[in-house]
Amino acid sequence: MRGPILPRLILALAVGTLLSSAGCRAGADRASSGPVSIAQAEPAAEPKEPSEKMEQPSPRLAEPLICLWQHRQEVDIAPLVKEIGFNTVWTSDQPYHGQAWEQTHMYRALQVPGVKYVFAKIERIQWGQTHEGSIAHAKWVAELGLSHPGIIGLYLNDFYDEVEEGRRTLDQWREIIAAAKSVNPNLQIWVPHYPHRGNEKRPYDFDYQGVIFNLWDKRGLPNVETYLAQAEEQHAGKMILTGLYLNNSGRETDWLTEEEFKTLLGLYLQHVNAGKTAGLRIFCACQLAQHPEYIAWAKEVLKDLKPRAAE
């Protein structure tokens, strides 16, 4: 890579390379609890009749969201933002305990030149959150969103996984959503869609405005176009971001190859340019810092990103 950014990027990568692959994954948005089976591609379930909890439409964004997941806050993302063109960061704040806005990860991310938007999230019970804490956190984020328009969404981390694992109930998730909406009705609620967990069979019959389509396991690559088409049909009328993982396991054999990376990111870019999706997300900052070849490959693909046509 050339240009004046190179010395700063080298410094940032030096920080990133101190982190092990396993350490990078701590706090990830999908925890592996053993061997993962890839669901066979099946027709999406018939959509249910709209409920009163699904009435709020999803707003159209003024520009595609090019998102970076950053859960290791010590990694300097400024060089990555400048090199790749990220305009959105997925942040990882501690559960609300009275911290000031200026003490948050959200605030720090928005100070990075080029970053316009951030997502907050409700963390998994597995990683120390409580239901009561989740409700307080949701209300806090919602209130911040009233005065900080850069907060464009609240992500309910591993929504259906939490239900399947017995960590939360659907009623508890609905309570969290209602708590956020009671403070800020315009706060967007975002949820994940994992093909490897059969999420195309889930009803998604609650109030949400956006969804992250996550190809978490590279073994799903042969069916990714089918999976994505199913998700786009299932979540018609909602904003969709497509998620890409460089490596979800920490095993050296599981890093995406150059061909795999460019093929997947290229597919995602086609759907953004066609207006089928609202943007894309790369997981994660510390892995990009460890493996700068992905930076070069991402730049090569994303140079073909089209600006959104004015309505």
- Portion of the chain with pLDDT greater than 90, in percent: 73
**Does residue 133 form part of some domain?**
yes
pLDDT of residue 59: 57
**Does residue 174 form part of some domain?**
yes
Q: Rounded to whole angstroms, how far apart are CA atoms 235 and 147?
A: 29
**Does residue 229 form part of some domain?**
yes
**Does residue 136 form part of some domain?**
yes
Query: 181-185, 216-220, 263-267, 284-288 — which is least confidently predicted?
Result: 216-220
What 3-state class would DSSP assign to 117?
Answer: strand
User: Phi-psi bin for 190: left (phi > 0), alpha (psi -120 to 50), beta?
Assistant: beta
**Does residue 231 form part of some domain?**
yes
pLDDT of residue 308: 75
Domain count, the chain: 1
Per-residue pLDDT at 80 exceeds 70: yes
Query: 197-206, 222-231, 244-253 — which is least confidently predicted?
Result: 244-253
Which pTM does this prediction carry? 0.84
Per-residue pLDDT at 3 exceeds 90: no
Residue-wise pLDDT for 138-194, tens only, equals: 999 999 999 999 999 999 999 999 999 999 999 999 999 999 999 999 999 999 999
Supply 307's token pair.
Answer: 């600006």
Q: Rounded to whole angstroms, how far apart are CA atoms 167 and 188?
A: 23
Amino acid at 251: R
**Does residue 294 form part of some domain?**
yes
Q: Rounded to whole angstroms, how far apart are CA atoms 135 and 143?
A: 12
Domain residues for the domain of 293 are: 64-302
* pLDDT bracket for residue 204 (50, 70, 90): very high
Query: What radius of gyration do the chain's Cα atoms show?
Result: 18
Average pLDDT of the segment spanning 51-57: 46
Write the CATH number for 204. 3.20.20.80
* pLDDT bracket for residue 69 (50, 70, 90): very high
Q: Rounded to whole angstroms, how far apart are CA atoms 188 and 207?
A: 9
Query: 32-41, 51-60, 115-124 — which is least confidently predicted?
Result: 32-41
Q: Between residues 230 and 126, which one has the greater pLDDT?
A: 230
Tokens 């520009």, residue located: 63
Per-residue pLDDT at 114 exceeds 70: yes
**Does residue 43 form part of some domain?**
no
pLDDT of residue 58: 53
Average pLDDT, the chain: 85
What 3-state class would DSSP assign to 182?
Answer: helix
Q: Rounded to whole angstroms, how far apart are CA atoms 118 and 105?
A: 9
Per-residue pLDDT at 16 exceeds 50: no
- Portion of the chain with pLDDT greater than 70, in percent: 79
Strand partners, 117: 88
Long-range contacts at 220-229 (CB < 8 A, ≥ 24 apart): 220/38, 220/195, 220/196, 221/260, 221/263, 221/264, 223/38, 223/40, 223/41, 223/195, 224/195, 224/264, 224/267, 225/267, 226/41, 227/41, 227/195, 227/200, 228/267, 228/271
What 3-state class would DSSP assign to 201?
Answer: helix
Maximum Cα interatomic distance, the chain, rounded to a whole number of Å: 55
**Does residue 102 form part of some domain?**
yes
Q: Rounded to whole angstroms, how far apart are CA atoms 162 and 122?
A: 11
pLDDT of residue 56: 52
